[in-house]
Chains A and B, each alone.
Chain A
Amino acid sequence: MKTITLTILGMDCAACASTLERTLRRQKGVERAAVNYTAGTMELTYDDGQRTLEDVVLAVKKAGFRVPVEEADLVLSPGADVEAAMEALRKVYGVCDVEVRPEGKLLVSFRPVGVDSRTLLEAVRAAGADAEVTDFRAGEEYYQLDTRMRLLRMLAAAFGLTAPLMLELHPKAQFLLGTALQFGPGRYFHAGAWRNLRNRTFGMDLLVSLSSSIIWLYSSFVALTRKKNFTLYFTSQGVLLSLILFGKYMEQVAAGEAGAAIRKLLRLQPASAMVRRDGVWKELAAEQIRTGDEILLRPGERIPADGVILTGGCAVDESMLTGESMPMDKTAGDQLVGGSLNRSGSVTYRATTLGKDSVLQQIVAMVRQAQTEKAPVQRFADAVAQWFVPGVMAAAAGTFALWFFRLKKGDLERALLNACDVLTVACPCALGLATPTALMVGSGTGAERGVLFKNGGALETAWKADTIVFDKTGTLTLGQPRLTDVCPLPGVTEDELLSVAAAIETRSDHPIAKAVTACGEGDSDLEITDFAYIPGRGVQGKIAGEAVLCGNRGLLKEHGVSLTELERLPDLRKEAKTELCVAKNGKLLGVLGVADVLRPDAAETVAALKAQGRELWMLTGDHAETAGAIAAQAGIDHVRAGVLPEDKVRTIRDLQARDKTVCMVGDGINDTPALAAADVSVAMGTGSDVAIESAGILLPAGKLTKLTEAFSISGKTMRVVRQNLRWALGYNAVSITAAAAGLLHPSLCAMAMSLSSIGVLMNSLRLQKLGKKKERDR
């Protein structure tokens, strides 16, 4: 099964998107097809055993749209095996042809499935040659410009032909202009209407084409046959076409704006980097970077690729990932994210992940997915849009009948005009655009702020969460516990206690284990056998043959270790610390205290969420006393401690059974089942690990305040969606009625209709301000 994102050309309105989706879904081997009209792309999951990429392209063509061909020029290094290189290139997924051009150039043609310079170069390299990409003619902006130019030309023609019609010209002259309009700029809509009919869908093009054709036909008939006492409506036809084309153009511009966030992300990747090759530092094009390359990074430069620092130190602005522009200090061993900005310091680092798997590309993919996936509310809008146009056509026919047979008997002109008004003023686009554009801008803005919505559903549901369940360690707390107390029982030394604990904990990755091993002398020479980590309890194993336990009281009880001696030691749990009981050979040695500090913004966030009327819960495997103390510090009233992973899921289910919309906040690694069970799932503090599958929302920054931002963005986006839908439905109801009543003039209808779609788009674009506003706050 392959999942790809294809650029689709020729979609004029949202109805086209639905048509294409349905057509593709009917194809054998296609599992999923989601089209984003505003972005001009289609996400497709298909079985590449049953269907090839070219089959898909053909299917798209049959539906009346186009999948473009992109090109790249490659220059092979001298002495390279041209045949082998061409073979290798042809095998790259998406490539449809490779041609040899003069002067050792290769022209590679490929489909827009995400093939980039790097992919082509790597293919050539694998064939044993080396090359340079000299020109790359591809990308979304490429097509947007193309579409816009086409519309502009049509628009200019329409205006040009309509202007003279404003003057009182001879009927025959008007007829000529009107005909030119009908078959010139008008073709745009007729072609669209034909496509609609062929695919058995009903879109706006059909309405406009019908309306303009009726007006033209009637006016032509009158112009050519009547001698006196008549009015021609070619002007209206011209104005109609002009205004609607203008509306379409504005739509394109707005649609382009909607995709601004992703484009900005992609711009953050530097075009070149200072790479060490053969011991010498060279400035190379970004796509020439290979995994393992050593790169020099200077202050003020953007980081060319993901990697790990080798030498030096720097301060990095990772706002493209986290939304926070406060520079983070990084030294040898730390990760760098490609696209982030080095504010100060120089480092050399080794490139690790490149291309599609890099953090930046993954974020882009995530935002694209959120923009394309059909959020539930969109499906509703699509369903309504389905019967909308036939409904309008029926209403137009009804209007005609009403006027011709009843209200003004025999007045063909009046009846026709009013019917056309109905056809023109109806705006199905607003319905189709209402949701997708808002979601597009919302998800893009979210990404700018470091709130990554992975799908439309998350964006749609987040704000509705009335109950929030927090995991404790790593979510509410910093997740970096420190060893605070070492309390051996009499007869045992501190060193002994610590070394036993540290020795067994070296095998565990748990944050608590790390706190112990950081301070203790974990002797790695000791032989550890039968090691086991028991979730919610602790660790056990044998050190040099002796049974050792390190965990909570529950663990020791289960192993039959007597806990009576514990009373002689201070109860660390009362101090909101985690108590680690250490036992060797069935005998208690003492306890260690580990404290995990609450995140600085926890209390503030909790208060804010509570003020919004949400119910807050904390779940933890820790003991009730520690949990209680942390919860009190944070301000959370509902706590469940001693919770095993399965219990977390059960708690969430219980809450859901009580009709609550539950949002689970965790670290994304240890809470997978719980995150999957919740209605809204948030993974915090993932940093550059954005491949977390289990959560619907990622907050790489690891700041709890981002959680309130996530709800805010979700709420505002959905508010815009509702506004758009209400407008779309309301506007249509009022205007169609007015048109049917004969209150409107054709030109007015055209203007209203255009303004309606543009209005919906502009309203959605308002969401962009959410991103910009934060900039000013810094």
Chain B
Amino acid sequence: MQDAVFKTYVRGIWCVQCPELILSGLLQRRGVIDADVAYYQSLVTVRYDPEIVTEETLREALTDLLSAL
């Protein structure tokens, strides 16, 4: 049960509502343990269980969330 973390800079966070939506979407995903969005740095940090979900899937999910904004 080892955790994995990935951080990524994202483009497209301009409104103050955005971090909320991203967080919401990420936390609902199976396998995500914790997520954080640093608004001013546009940095998203996700801690997840690699046995349940892969970084690929999460990055895709993140892209989907961002495009929906």
B68 within 8 A of partner (CB): no
A141 within 8 A of partner (CB): yes
A1 within 8 A of partner (CB): no
A301 within 8 A of partner (CB): yes
Q: Give min CB distance, B56 to chain A, whole Å.
A: 16
B17 within 8 A of partner (CB): yes
List the count of A-B residue pairs having beta carbons below 8 Å apart.
Answer: 41
B33 touches A270 (CB 8 A): no
The one of A141, A271, A300 in contact with B30, judged by C-beta atoms closer than 8 angstroms, is A300
At the interface with chain B, which of A26-34, A260-268, A602-610? Answer: A260-268
B27 touches A145 (CB 8 A): no
CB-CB < 8 A to B30: which residues of A? 298, 300-301
The one of A145, A327, A341, A343 in contact with B16, judged by C-beta atoms closer than 8 angstroms, is A145
CB-CB < 8 A to B32: which residues of A? 300
A299 touches B52 (CB 8 A): yes
Q: A271-B28, A317-B33 are in contact. Are A141 and B52 (CB under 8 A)?
A: no
Q: Give min CB distance, B4 to chain A, whole Å.
A: 13
Q: A300-B30, A300-B31, A302-B28 are in contact. Are A343 and B20 (CB under 8 A)?
A: no
B23 touches A300 (CB 8 A): no
A644 within 8 A of partner (CB): no
B-side interface size class? 10 to 19
Complex: A182 Cα to B34 Cα, angstroms? 48
Complex: A144 Cα to B19 Cα, angstroms? 14
CB-CB < 8 A to B49: which residues of A? 299-300, 343
Q: Give min CB distance, A286 to chain B, whole Å.
A: 10
Interface residues of A in 284-311 (CB under 8 A from B): 298-302
B17 touches A145 (CB 8 A): yes
Count of chain A residues near B, Cβ 8 A: 26
Main secondary structure of the interface of A (DSSP, over half): mixed
A148 within 8 A of partner (CB): yes
Q: A264-B23, A317-B33, A343-B1 are in contact. Are A300 and B52 (CB under 8 A)?
A: yes
CB-CB < 8 A to B42: which residues of A? none
- What per-residue 1/0 map shows which CB atoms of B12-30 lie under 8 Å from chain A? 0001110010011001101
B53 within 8 A of partner (CB): yes
Q: Give min CB distance, B14 to chain A, whole Å.
A: 11
Interface residues of B in 25-65 (CB under 8 A from A): 27-28, 30-34, 36, 49, 52-53
Complex: A299 Cα to B32 Cα, angstroms? 11
Complex: A267 Cα to B27 Cα, angstroms? 7
CB-CB < 8 A to B24: which residues of A? 267
Residue of B nearest to A298 (CB): B30
The one of A141, A264, A315 in contact with B1, judged by C-beta atoms closer than 8 angstroms, is A315
B16 touches A270 (CB 8 A): no
CB-CB < 8 A to A315: which residues of B? 1
CB-CB < 8 A to A301: which residues of B? 30
A344 touches B16 (CB 8 A): no
A268 touches B33 (CB 8 A): no
A268 touches B20 (CB 8 A): no
CB-CB < 8 A to A267: which residues of B? 20, 23-24, 27
A68 within 8 A of partner (CB): no
Complex: A539 Cα to B20 Cα, angstroms? 56
Residue of B nearest to A341 (CB): B33
CB-CB < 8 A to A253: which residues of B? 16
Complex: A148 Cα to B20 Cα, angstroms? 15
A263 touches B20 (CB 8 A): yes
A256 touches B27 (CB 8 A): no
Q: A299-B52, A300-B53 are in contact. Are A148 and B16 (CB under 8 A)?
A: yes
The one of B16, B28, B36 in contact with A256, judged by C-beta atoms closer than 8 angstroms, is B16
Residue of A nearest to B33 (CB): A341
A268 touches B1 (CB 8 A): no
CB-CB < 8 A to A264: which residues of B? 23
- What per-residue 1/0 map shows which CB atoms of A246-273 lie under 8 Å from chain B? 0000000100100000011001101100
The one of A144, A302, A344, A775 in contact with B27, judged by C-beta atoms closer than 8 angstroms, is A302
Residue of A nearest to B23 (CB): A267
Complex: A141 Cα to B17 Cα, angstroms? 7
Residue of A nearest to B26 (CB): A267
A141 touches B33 (CB 8 A): no
B1 touches A327 (CB 8 A): yes
Q: Give min CB distance, A572 to chain B, whole Å.
A: 42
CB-CB < 8 A to A341: which residues of B? 33
Interface residues of A in 720-746 (CB under 8 A from B): none
CB-CB < 8 A to A145: which residues of B? 15-17
Complex: A325 Cα to B5 Cα, angstroms? 15
Q: A300-B53, A341-B33 are in contact. Are A268 and B16 (CB under 8 A)?
A: no
A141 touches B28 (CB 8 A): no
Complex: A327 Cα to B49 Cα, angstroms? 13
CB-CB < 8 A to A256: which residues of B? 16
Most A CB contacts (10 A, CB to CB) among B1, B20, B24, B53 go to B20
Residue of B nearest to A263 (CB): B20
Complex: A270 Cα to B32 Cα, angstroms? 12
Complex: A268 Cα to B35 Cα, angstroms? 11
Complex: A141 Cα to B20 Cα, angstroms? 9
Q: Give min CB distance, B49 to chain A, whole Å.
A: 6
Q: Spell out A's residues near B (CB within 8 Å).
A: 141, 144-145, 148, 253, 256, 263-264, 267-268, 270-271, 298-302, 315, 317, 325, 327, 341, 343-344, 772, 775
Q: Which 8 A-B residue pairs are closest in the complex by CB-CB distance? A: A300-B52, A300-B31, A300-B30, A267-B27, A267-B24, A145-B17, A301-B30, A141-B20
A256-B16, A775-B34 known; 14 other A-B pairs, CB under 8 Å? A141-B20, A148-B16, A263-B20, A267-B24, A270-B28, A298-B30, A299-B49, A300-B30, A300-B49, A302-B28, A315-B1, A317-B33, A343-B49, A344-B1
List 18 contacting pairs A-B, 8 Å CB cutoff, sorted by A: A141-B17, A141-B20, A144-B16, A253-B16, A267-B23, A267-B27, A270-B28, A271-B28, A299-B49, A300-B30, A300-B31, A300-B49, A301-B30, A317-B33, A325-B33, A327-B1, A341-B33, A344-B1
